Structure formats: C-alpha cells, structure tokens
C-alpha cells in the first residue's frame, strides 16, 4: 500500500499543533488525505491553520483549544472530538516544553509545569483514546519524546526526567496494546529548529553551540508521518546522536567521562 493511501480518510489528532513539529506533521498528514484534529492553546492560530488546510487539501480539519496542564478539562475535549468526528485513528502526543537550568536553580513551578504537560497531560490524552482503539482493534499512538529521554545531560535534569517518563510509559503501553493491534511508537529527536529554545535557553548559547547539528522539523515530520499506521517501535534522529544513546546504555561511565565537555555546551 502506498503511503498516501494508508492515511487517506483517516483521522489524525495532534497536540501542540499550532507550530513547530506539530504544525509540520499536520500539513504532511493533510497532504496525504488525512482528516485532522488540531489541539493547542492558541485557538486563533489553529483556526487559521484549519482554514488553510481545508482550502489547500480538501480534508476535514477540526481546531480545538487544549491546555495540557489543565488535566481536568482533557476528557471533555476528547468527548467533543468523538461527537464531531467519530473516532481517532492516530494520536500524536507532541505538546511539550523544557527549561534548561542547573538542578539547584530549577523552581518547583518549573518542575510541576514540565511534568504536568510533558507527562501527565500526555498520559491523560492517551487514556482517552485507548478504549475506542481497543474496541476497533486498530489505531496508532505516537509519543514525541527526545534523545534527552535516553541520554541525560547537564542543565536538563527535569526535562530529561520527563522524557525518561514518556519513554517508560510508551514502552509499557506498547506491550499492553500489542494484542489489540494498536501500534505505539516513541519518537526521539535531537534538538530541532523550533521555538522550543526560546523558553528552554533564552540566552541562545545552546543553539549557537550546536547550530549545524539542529534537525529540521520537515525532516522529523516526514519520518513521523511515514511511520503512521505502521508497526514501528521507535524513530531516532539523528543517527549519530542515537549511537551515543546506545553507547551510553552500554558504557555509561565511559560516555559521561568522554562526553563531559560536549554535554556542558548548553
């Protein structure tokens, strides 16, 4: 089956879809004939995106406000989705953010905020789609994690902790749903060219230090969309960074010693 045919007429819901990777995923899905549910806090931007997508690709596109830190509101949003579109074939848990700071400087509000969005919000959204996917014996849950979930580095202790949690949850969920023909994929990109670093690193030092290694959202989104409704365990980008993560699993002390200088480039 050609990749365009696989997504044609399917419904893809994407959190954090008002910009960056989520926005790129949305447009690529629409280009392949998928109907979309766009979820983010910036409803004005989502409505404009939905208008553009409908006009350009002729697919259905439902924009809805969703603040992942407001966990009590999430079930009502998904009830609205199911009432309007019937079911979700692919859920992309993309929303998330990070703050780079030494552990001694991270505030309790920063910790609570990152875990509320990156972990708890993602889990609550996933919980809402599991029953219908299980009933239909079909579906795909894609969780955007990070290479930081595999290889923690200085000044990202809390962000890395949230992404470790995302990977732990994703790996457990994959096994739980395997018998129901529901696919679960973790996406682990390295640094991407998005507005993520405007909050994570306001100084701009990190982007300046690793500029040539930053991934484009176009490249990552292409791989994510290509994997939809396929049995794919993980997507790891870039390859050389994932090699580092694998080596870290095997030889943690050696990697920490040899990579110390590079790790402190934030």
Q: Tell me the domain boundaries of the chain.
A: 3-263
Q: Is 97 a residue of the active site?
A: no
Write down the pLDDT at residue 194: 56
Dihedral sign from CA coordinates of 100, 101, 103, 107: negative
Write down the pLDDT at residue 3: 52
Fold classified for 3-263: Rossmann fold (3.40.50)
Which of 159, 169, 206, 248 is labelled catalytic?
159
Write down the pLDDT at residue 200: 47
Instruction: Please identify every stretch of the chain with a pLDDT value under 50, giving residue numbers as ranges.
Output: 1-2, 197, 200, 206-207, 209-210
Write down the pLDDT at residue 253: 78
Cα of first residue to Cα of last residue in the chain, in angstroms, is: 44
Write down the pLDDT at residue 260: 58
Q: Each residue of 90-149: pLDDT tens digit? A: 999 999 999 988 999 999 999 999 999 999 999 999 999 999 999 999 999 999 999 999
Q: What CA–CA distance (Å, rounded) separates 260 from 180?
A: 44
């Amino acid at each position: 089956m050609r990749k365009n045919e696989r997504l044609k007429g399917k419904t893809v819901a994407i959190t954090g879809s008002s910009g960056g990777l989520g926005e790129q995923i949305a447009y690529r899905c629409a280009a392949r004939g998928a109907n979309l549910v766009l979820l983010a806090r910036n409803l004005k931007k989502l409505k404009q995106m939905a208008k553009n997508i409908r006009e350009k690709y002729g697919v259905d596109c439902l924009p809805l406000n969703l603040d992942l830190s407001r966990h009590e509101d999430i079930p009502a949003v998904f009830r609205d989705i199911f009432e309007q579109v019937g079911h979700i074939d692919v859920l992309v848990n993309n929303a998330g953010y990070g703050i780079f700071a030494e552990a001694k400087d991270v505030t309790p509000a920063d910790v609570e905020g990152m875990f509320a969005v990156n972990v708890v919000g993602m889990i609550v959204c996933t919980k809402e789609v599991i029953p219908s996917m299980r009933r239909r014996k079909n579906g795909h849950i894609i969780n955007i994690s990070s290479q930081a979930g595999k290889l923690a580095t200085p000044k990202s202790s809390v962000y890395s902790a949230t992404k470790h949690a995302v990977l732990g949850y994703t790996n457990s969920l994959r096994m739980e749903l395997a018998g129901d023909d529901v696919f679960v994929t973790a996406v682990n990109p390295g640094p991407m060219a998005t507005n993520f670093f405007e909050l994570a690193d306001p100084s701009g030092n990190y982007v300046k230090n690793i500029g040539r290694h930053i991934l484009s959202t176009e490249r990552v989104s292409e791989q994510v969309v290509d994997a939809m409704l396929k049995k794919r365990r993980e997507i790891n980008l870039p390859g050389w960074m994932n090699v580092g993560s694998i080596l870290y699993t095997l030889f943690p002390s050696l990697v920490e010693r040899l990579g110390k200088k590079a790790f402190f480039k934030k």
